Structure 1
C-alpha cells in the first residue's frame, strides 16, 4: 500500500510521478497543494483522477515554495529533502505539460 500520484498529458502518457509509503505524512502535502484531499484514502489514494489547470499548478508550486522554504534545505533530513524534491519535480513536470495543453490529468492511487 502507498500513495502513487501520477500526472498524464492529453495523449494519456505519464508525465509526472510521486510515490509515498502509506505511513508517510508528507503525502498529504501534495494532496493539499492540489486541493485534492477528497482523493486521499488513508493508506493510498482513492483510485480517482481529476483535471488540474495551469493556474492551479502554478498556485500549488508557489504555495509549496513558501510552505517548505524549498530554497533552504539545510535543516531538513535526507528523507524530507527526498520528498521535497519529488513534490517539486511532480509539480514542475505537470506545469510544463499544463502550459502546453491547458491542464493535466492527475491520478491518485
Structure 2
C-alpha cells in the first residue's frame, strides 16, 4: 500500500508522478497543496481523479512556497530533501502542462 499520484496531459500521457509509502506524512502535504484531501484514503489514494486548471496548479505552487517558506527559486530543487523535491517536481510538471493545455488530470492511487 502507498500513495501513487500521477499527473496526465490531455493525450493521457503521464507527465508527473509522486510515490509515498503508506506511513509517509509527506503524502498529506501534496494532497493539501492540491486542495484534494477528499482523495486521501489513509494508506493510499482513493483511486479517484480530478481535472485541475492552470489557476489551481498555480495556487498549489504558491502554497508550496508558503508552506516550505523558502526563498529558493523553483529551479533550485536539487538540494531539497527527497520528498520535498518530488512534491515540487510534481507540481512543476503539472504546471508546465497546464500552462500549455489549460488543465491537467491528477489520479490519486
TM-score of the alignment, normalized to the shorter chain, above 0.5: yes
Which residue is equivalent to 2:75?
A: none
Which residue is equivalent to 1:54?
A: 54
**What secondary structure does 1:31 align onto?**
helix
Which residue is equivalent to 1:77?
A: none
Which residue is equivalent to 1:32?
A: 32
What residue ranges of structure 2 are gaps of 5+ in the alignment?
A: 73-79
- Comparing 45-54 with 61-70, greater Cα deviation is found at 61-70
Which residue is equivalent to 1:18?
A: 18
TM-score, normalization by structure 2: 0.90
Instruction: Please say if residues 64 and 70 of structure 1, whose CA atoms lie closer than 8 Å, have aligned partners that are also in contact.
Output: no
Which residue is equivalent to 1:99?
A: 99
Aligned-residue Cα RMSD (Å) equals 1.2
**What secondary structure does 2:10 align onto?**
coil
What residue ranges of structure 1 are gaps of 5+ in the alignment?
A: 73-79
Shift of 1:16: 0.1
Runs of 4+ in 1 over 3 A off after TM superposition: none
TM-score, normalization by structure 1: 0.90
Instruction: Supply the distance in 2 between the matched residues of 1:27 and 1:41 (Cα, whole angstroms).
Output: 11
Which residue is equivalent to 2:63?
A: 63
Instruction: Supply the distance in 2 between the matched residues of 1:71 and 1:84 (Cα, whole angstroms).
Output: 14
